[in-house]
Structure 1
Amino acid sequence: MTTAPLPRHRIGTSELEASALSLGSWHTFDRMDFADAVTMVRHAMDEGVNLFDVGVYAMPGMPPVFTDVLWGSIMRATGAPRDSYLASVKLWIEAFGEDGFGPQLKNAFLRTGLDHADLVILGDLRRDDVRLEDLVDDLSALTRAGLIRAWGVNNWSASNIHALRRIAAERGVDGPQIAQLKYSLARRSIPDGAPFAELFGSGFSMQASDVLEGGILAGRTSPDREIGRDPGSIREAIVATVPGITALAEELGATPAQVAVAFTLTHPANATTLVGATRLEQVRQNIGALDLVRRVGAEELRALVEPFWVDRGVVDPEGP
């Protein structure tokens, strides 16, 4: 148990307030016993977690994925009122067409049982044939229709986020409020760099993701599941830092995972850290990371983990 309530932070300038920790659904709930998942989610909510990432990760031609479908059943089994939590839905630029994001959102609602998304996060920008103006216009229409409340992006460059915000301001509509960014002991160059510092200084928020590098930073150096991309091709170097992280964790009376999660909580613009727990004990440990920050102090913790910053000078702070 924590010694203080799980804090909440405003997402950008929106009306949404997210818990300092959020739970993700990429290959999580589909790796759990259903009853265990219900127990875990109930515990997380009792501790103050209120934001859930429920992206649809089943792509045409790929093996089916049901973690988002399971999440919907899990939430119904918890009995949690819809207004007691925030749901964040992923939308993919690859599938953006003449009907906009509407079909994707409709499919997400079908699979999860949602009737609206509190937050939508646009996936990586991998197309050069989509006008940013069209994205802003479509998301504005979905907002007016009551289907979404706020939106953000996943691993976009600072320049493209500035462009989205400028277009939204010209149209008199809400622009992106948050960027989901890879942020960890090892991957810091983008969120800690000058281009994003300018955005954060204007009230823009971050959601830290991939904080354990697929479990590697928690000590599981040979993951047996699919994990995120490896910008800068530094994963081997990250694995090499694990003994040092483990030693530091022992000195601090914590676990490596707690050190990794605690670090992300020290970033002033980080509204919420996304974790992908699959066991109740992992949720308890992740929540315990807040006590580690309080005990050690944010400035001291950042100094202690400085040697594990692997992508410094390797990845462009501007972002992809």
Structure 2
Amino acid sequence: MPESTYPARALQSGGAVVPPLALGSWNTWDRMTSEEAVAVIRRAVERDAGFFDVAYYNMGPHAENSQTDILFGEALRASGVDRSDLVLCGKLWLWDWPNQGFRAQLLESLERAGLDRFDTLVVGDYLDAPDMPRLVADVNALIAEGLVGSWGINNWRIAQTREALAEAEAQGAAGPVFAQLKYGIARRSMAEGDAYGPLFADGTLTLQASDVFEGGILATGRSPQRKIGADVGGIRERIAAIYPEVARIAGEFGVTPAALGVAFCLSNPATANVLFGASRREQLEQNHAALALARDHGDEVRAALAGCWVDQEVRADGAW
């Protein structure tokens, strides 16, 4: 992995460090030309962002028959980037599990992207509490087969996350090592509250911050026309209202609002990396400024943004 001037962290306790910036796949690779995609991948590896989230969006509320994963795979092969310089994260969905098993999902995802394995993966959203003994066993079967190295969870209720950790210990198996949570300048309760906070503090889990720009609202001040993440707690209008203050503070630090949002997330010691979408190389370059800002002025960033926390009254246990 290319050397970084940023103090990179591991995604799991005792594991190898990962790039501090991570590029998502939802509504990303299908919003640029193939030439742009190749350029973004090459530059991402050079700019501390060689961690790629690769998901097949065609299940449950994401039944979109998206091509973004296929396009990423094509661009990755065309880029000529060495596999050893990348960290690839897959995604499993619980919407139709166990009717559609994890192995079938993972093999389909790998085939679509033209990959042979993922370094790690995220087990995604659910409506009803899953059969945890089976879930842990099924994920560990993928690890044993060499298809993936580790796993994490995506916006789970804290009760199920703790159940997964306990079940893994009971089975003598690998449990989740990180939590991919909605986290950013405005939404902090789930990651910093009494639910997940203790698991981050004692090193049981690390945090992968996602949806940090609230679908782009905190990066541009505009609501995008494309589909964006759920508005947990119905606070999106209040989040949009703080954008002028976010933009003002970003100007004081000499960065874009997006870079300020990334720096805020990185300034949390629990954060292993920050996942965002970049459909232009320019966005990647601008967000890279967050690394120096977080490294040199992280405490100042958090202090300046103290009044921008919007979701204090939203349940922090993940029971949305």
What TM-score results when the alignment is normalised by the length of structure 1?
0.94
Cross-structure match for 1:53? 53
Cross-structure match for 1:311? 311
RMSD: 1.7
- Per-residue CA distance 1:99-153 (angstroms, 9 max, x = gap): 630110011011001111111101112124x311100011111111111100010
What is the CA–CA distance in structure 2 between the aligned matches of 1:181 and 1:73, rounded to whole Å? Answer: 28
Q: Quick check: 2:250–2:257 contact (8 Å CA) kept in 1?
A: yes
What is the CA–CA distance in structure 1 between the aligned matches of 2:99 and 2:40, rounded to whole Å? Answer: 40
Please give the residue correspondences for 1:162-173 in structure 2 after superposition, counting only pairs within 5 Å: 162-173=162-173
Pair 1:184–1:272, CA change in 2 (3 A): same
What is the CA–CA distance in structure 2 between the aligned matches of 1:15 and 1:254, rounded to whole Å? Answer: 31
Cross-structure match for 2:269? 268
Q: Quick check: 2:221–2:240 contact (8 Å CA) kept in 1?
A: no
In the alignment, is residue 194 of structure 1 matched against residue 194 of structure 2?
yes
Q: Quick check: 1:58–1:66 contact (8 Å CA) kept in 2?
A: no
Q: Secondary structure at the match of 1:149?
A: coil
Q: Secondary structure at the match of 1:288?
A: helix
Q: Secondary structure at the match of 1:8?
A: coil
Q: Secondary structure at the match of 1:267?
A: coil
Q: Quick check: 1:6–1:49 contact (8 Å CA) kept in 2?
A: no
What is the CA–CA distance in structure 2 between the aligned matches of 1:12 and 1:59, rounded to whole Å? Answer: 28
What is the CA–CA distance in structure 1 between the aligned matches of 2:112 and 2:17, rounded to whole Å? Answer: 25
The residue type paired with residue 24 of structure 1 is G
Structure 2, unpaired ranges of 5+: none
What is the CA–CA distance in structure 2 between the aligned matches of 1:114 and 1:52, rounded to whole Å? Answer: 13
Cross-structure match for 2:232? 231
Cross-structure match for 1:72? 73
Q: Secondary structure at the match of 2:199?
A: helix
Structure 1, unpaired ranges of 5+: none
**Displacement of 1:6 after TM fit?**
4.1
What TM-score results when the alignment is normalised by the length of structure 2?
0.94
Q: Quick check: 2:41–2:50 contact (8 Å CA) kept in 1?
A: no
What is the CA–CA distance in structure 1 between the aligned matches of 2:4 and 2:115, rounded to whole Å? Answer: 31
Cross-structure match for 1:135? 135
The residue type paired with residue 257 of structure 2 is P
Q: Secondary structure at the match of 2:150?
A: strand
**Displacement of 1:14 after TM fit?**
5.9
Q: Quick check: 2:59–2:96 contact (8 Å CA) kept in 1?
A: no
What is the CA–CA distance in structure 2 between the aligned matches of 1:288 and 1:254, rounded to whole Å? Answer: 7
What is the CA–CA distance in structure 2 between the aligned matches of 1:18 and 1:133, rounded to whole Å? Answer: 29
What is the CA–CA distance in structure 2 between the aligned matches of 1:241 and 1:135, rounded to whole Å? Answer: 40
Q: Secondary structure at the match of 1:274?
A: strand
What is the CA–CA distance in structure 2 between the aligned matches of 1:62 and 1:164, rounded to whole Å? Answer: 26
Pair 1:98–1:236, CA change in 2 (3 A): closer
Please give the residue correspondences for 1:150-161 in structure 2 after superposition, counting only pairs within 5 Å: 150-161=150-161
Cross-structure match for 1:92? 93
**Displacement of 1:158 after TM fit?**
1.9
Cross-structure match for 1:126? 127
**Displacement of 1:48 after TM fit?**
2.8
What is the CA–CA distance in structure 2 between the aligned matches of 1:201 and 1:308, rounded to whole Å? Answer: 23
**Displacement of 1:63 after TM fit?**
4.1
What is the CA–CA distance in structure 2 between the aligned matches of 1:207 and 1:176, rounded to whole Å? Answer: 12
What is the CA–CA distance in structure 1 between the aligned matches of 2:21 and 2:81, rounded to whole Å? Answer: 18
Cross-structure match for 1:116? 117
**Displacement of 1:13 after TM fit?**
2.6
Q: Work out the number of aligned pairs and report it.
A: 315
Runs of 4+ residues over 6 Å off in structure 1: none
Seq. identity, %: 40
| Higher mean C-alpha deviation, range 94-103 or range 112-121 | 94-103
What is the CA–CA distance in structure 1 between the aligned matches of 2:34 and 2:7, rounded to whole Å? Answer: 28
**Displacement of 1:62 after TM fit?**
4.3
The residue type paired with residue 235 of structure 2 is I
